[in-house]
Amino acid sequence: MRPADRFPLVQCGISYPIQQIEGVSMAEFNFAVPILPGKTEAWRKAIEEMKGPRREDYKRSRKNLGIKREQVCLQMTPHGDMVVVHIEAKDPANVMPGMFAAATPFDVWFLETVLRGVHGIDPKGPPPPAPEVVLDFKG
């Protein structure tokens, strides 16, 4: 099974045209991930660590994954909090498999603290469903 088959949510980016960003071909993709009940403060703490003491490790991790830009937003809803992520990457099909591979101490921390601890994602479990692009306007 190819990584893109195992983690279809990253295929959403394939539907967007690949564009040149600073001379490098990039694709964009988006996805939303629920935060487990009672885990929003743990998520905020992890984000603060990635903006503070773990910043250089975070930047190195994203560079190793081929990510040019990652925007992470907190969306509060009456049904629970969600994280909405937008990524621009050279090879979007390998971003999530790369995160799940946990090759460095930062990657292991991110996998355990954020993906498992906050979102309840099991990298060995069934893949999350792919988002459906329903409207894509470019002016």
Those residues with Cβ within 8 angstroms of residue 67's Cβ, 6 or more apart along the chain or in another chain: 87, 88, 89, 95
pLDDT in tens, 21-68: 455 567 888 999 999 999 999 999 999 999 999 999 999 999 999 999
CATH architecture of 3-116: 2-Layer Sandwich (3.30)
Alpha helices in the chain (DSSP H): 3-6, 40-51, 55-64, 95-101, 105-110
Prediction pTM value = 0.78
> Whats the size of the chain, residue-wise?
139
The domains of the chain are located at 3-116
Q: What is the DSSP letter of 125?
A: S
pLDDT at 10 exceeding the cut of 70: no
